[in-house]
Structure formats: C-alpha cells, structure tokens
C-alpha cells in the first residue's frame, strides 16, 4: 500500500480493477478545502490515458511490475512472439497492446513489462533508437540539401519514415522509436 505522498512518475498502481502507471502528477493545496493530488494515469492493459484526482492521504495498492529483456522472434496472426534471453521461454503478445509494431525486426532486443503476481505480459518497449536499412526511397537531387525538406523512405520492416533528401536507398539510418522520426545516418 502507498498513499498520495508516495506518488512519482512511473509508479504502477491498481485502480478500478486495472493496472495504471502514473504519467504525471501534481500536489495541489487550495486556499480553501483539503489538499488533493491531480494525476494522469495510463492503463497498462489498454493504453488509454485518464485524468483522476485523489484526496491527499488517499491509500492506493501498488503493483509490482518487472522489466525483462526479450528477443523479438516473429509476427503471425496470433500476435508477436518473443523469447526470454535468460531462460529461453517464449511468449506471445497481441499486436493491439504494442506500439510501433512496424519498427520491430527479427532478433531485436526489447524490454517487456510483466505483472509480477500474475506473470502476465503488459506491454513491450523498443530501445529509444533502432538501426534500419532503407529499402526504397526516391533518389535525391544534387544541391537540394540546403533546406529542411524531407521525403518518405520505406525501411526493411515496411515502416515509412520521413528522411532528409540526401538519404539514398540501401543506407543505414537510426530511427527514434518514440517519435518515429529520422535521427541520423549510421556510419559504416
């Protein structure tokens, strides 16, 4: 159990028969009336974000969430399949609960959040940056690099990323998985 003074970003709590992580919180002490805590909670099972207000001192049940390293194996009609890098057990997670499904490539290391009491996988997180090979993009025009113009490029997993005009086909680029944007060209 914890109360509102223990709130911090990333804390996982059980609320309304669901698991939530605290995305944002703010302690408010109005001039009149009791203090309260305004929070933004993200559901770990559905991904929905909701605003909620707790009175100061309100008790909540904390949930134990573990972050385990897994390797992405493949995707099929059941979902996405991963292998635990320590004990080699395989688990599958439906695509609906995973963000940026088209940025996963086989053999990639990811972190999976697992509810410790039930051993249920909740969500999957890519590393902040991944390296991808550009398999198709329109050729750049010489001398067209002075502006911040971008063009669409298809990477090896099928995702479409906006890249600068100087990026050519078969080049390696670094993609920011949080914003789905081009970060830099990978030096060979």
On the question of pLDDT at 176 being above 80, the answer is: yes
| pLDDT given for residue 120 in this prediction | 85
On the question of pLDDT at 82 being above 90, the answer is: yes
On the question of pLDDT at 162 being above 80, the answer is: yes
| pLDDT given for residue 146 in this prediction | 62
Whole-angstrom Cα distance, residue 69 to residue 10? 18
Residue 78 confidence class, pLDDT cut points 50, 70, 90: confident
73, 90 in Cβ contact below 8 A? yes
On the question of pLDDT at 39 being above 90, the answer is: yes
On the question of pLDDT at 145 being above 70, the answer is: no
Mean pLDDT value across residues 108-126:
87
On the question of pLDDT at 143 being above 70, the answer is: no
pTM: 0.72
Quick one: what percent of the chain has pLDDT higher than 70? 96
| pLDDT given for residue 155 in this prediction | 93
């Amino acid at each position: 159990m914890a109360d509102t003074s223990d709130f911090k970003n990333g804390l996982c709590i059980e609320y309304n028969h669901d698991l939530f992580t605290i995305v944002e919180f703010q302690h408010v002490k109005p001039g009149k009336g009791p203090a309260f805590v305004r929070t933004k909670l993200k559901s770990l099972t559905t991904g929905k974000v909701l605003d909620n207000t707790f009175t100061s001192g309100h008790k909540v049940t904390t949930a134990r969430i573990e972050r385990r390293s897994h390797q992405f194996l493949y995707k099929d009609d059941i979902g996405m399949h991963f292998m635990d890098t320590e004990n080699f057990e395989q688990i599958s997670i439906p695509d609906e609960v995973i963000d940026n499904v088209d940025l996963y490539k086989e053999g990639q290391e990811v972190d999976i959040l697992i509810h410790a009491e039930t051993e249920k996988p909740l969500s999957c997180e890519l590393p902040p940056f991944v390296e991808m090979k550009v398999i198709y993009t329109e050729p750049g025009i010489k001398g067209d690099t002075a502006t911040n113009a971008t063009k669409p490029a298809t990477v090896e997993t099928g995702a479409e990323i906006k890249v600068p005009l100087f990026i050519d086909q078969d080049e390696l680029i670094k993609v920011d998985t949080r914003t789905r944007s081009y970060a830099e060209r990978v030096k060979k």
